Amino acid sequence: MITLDHAYIIGGFFFAALALLSALDRENARRLRNAAFYALLAVSFWAGHLIGDLGNGLLALGLVIIAVMGLGQGKPATTSQAERRASAEQRGNALFLPALIIPTVALAGTLLVQYTDWGPAFIASKDKTLVSLVLGVLIAIGVLMVWLRPPLLAPLEEGRRLMDSVGWAALLPQMLAALGAVFLAAGVGEQVGAIFTQYVPLDTRTMAVAAYCIGMALFTIIMGNAFAAFPVMTAAVGLPFVVLELGGDPARVCAIGMLAGFCGTLMTPMAANFNVVPANLLELPDRKAALNGVIRAQIPTAIPLLAANILLMRFLAFP
């Protein structure tokens, strides 16, 4: 049976490979920093459950210290822009098919485990979505290797190139999700709930849904990530009012609530992992101006989406 432990092992191998390739990249003046950064990530995937809270805390501090010192940009061997253009013109929209394999396998695996008797024999039920996602990535890579026949190390080298481009911001979702759990354990959710009940009437479905969705977006703007806002706002408003008091379906409330939080992600510079990525990957010269431009371009989309999520939750979350 495939479990989440197997997915962690694969993730550990990926980051260990990035560490080794980074250490061997003499074109990168900061190659040892990059290698140490990726090596710590590999350790967290392989041995995070063995080193305890103190060990994981020290590991996280090590990642922060290396990120503050500054990571370098590796220069792995890759195709030229002309070669990519020629490949795109030759294969057209078929190039998107491998990318579609990932969500297709993730969805299929989840449904098979959920609705068949034999699915749980292959994939652990509690880990079905993440395991299916990892399987989708591996299958997509296999299809690409057979179809395009790139060099054997191409997936790892291209992964390293992208990770180096994004840099430390790639870890923000995990870090902020952990921060949200810390806030929840510290009772921040209860305090936020008390503030909402004091100033916002939450006795109707419309007001409770609006408070939860708008609160998710605002807290995400402050925290920089919907994963950090989710445990706090769900404990404050989502579960006690929208679900328990007013009868909302937990799965639908939580799913749409996360989407409402992502609307806040589109509108904040705190979401460095999301909004810095376009500026980095496009190698724009003025990254600060590019970040502000990305956010300004996204706000006209984010606000209508937030309103749409409020309406969806109001009319779909209650049986």
Is pLDDT above 70 for 7? yes
Distance CA 273, CA 276 (A): 6
Tell me which amino acid residue 39 is: A
Place of tokens 């990525």: 277
Is pLDDT above 70 for 284? no
Query: 99-123 pLDDT, tens per residue?
Result: 999 999 999 999 999 889 888 889 9
State the Cα torsion 17-18-24-27 to the nearest 10°. Answer: 160
DSSP 8-state code for residue 39:
H
Query: 250-276 pLDDT, tens per residue?
Result: 999 999 999 999 999 889 877 766 766
Distance CA 154, CA 150 (A): 6
Closest C-alpha among 68, 55, 153 to residue 46? 55
pTM of the model: 0.77
Query: 187-240 pLDDT, tens per residue?
Result: 877 788 788 778 888 889 999 999 999 999 998 998 878 888 898 899 889 999
Distance CA 184, CA 195 (A): 15
Is the Cβ–Cβ distance between 2 and 122 less than 8 Å? yes
Distance CA 213, CA 225 (A): 14
Closest C-alpha among 175, 265, 189, 176 to residue 231? 189
* Rg of the chain on CA atoms, in Å: 22
Q: What is the number of alpha carbons within 13 Å of residue 112 lying toward its C-beta?
A: 16
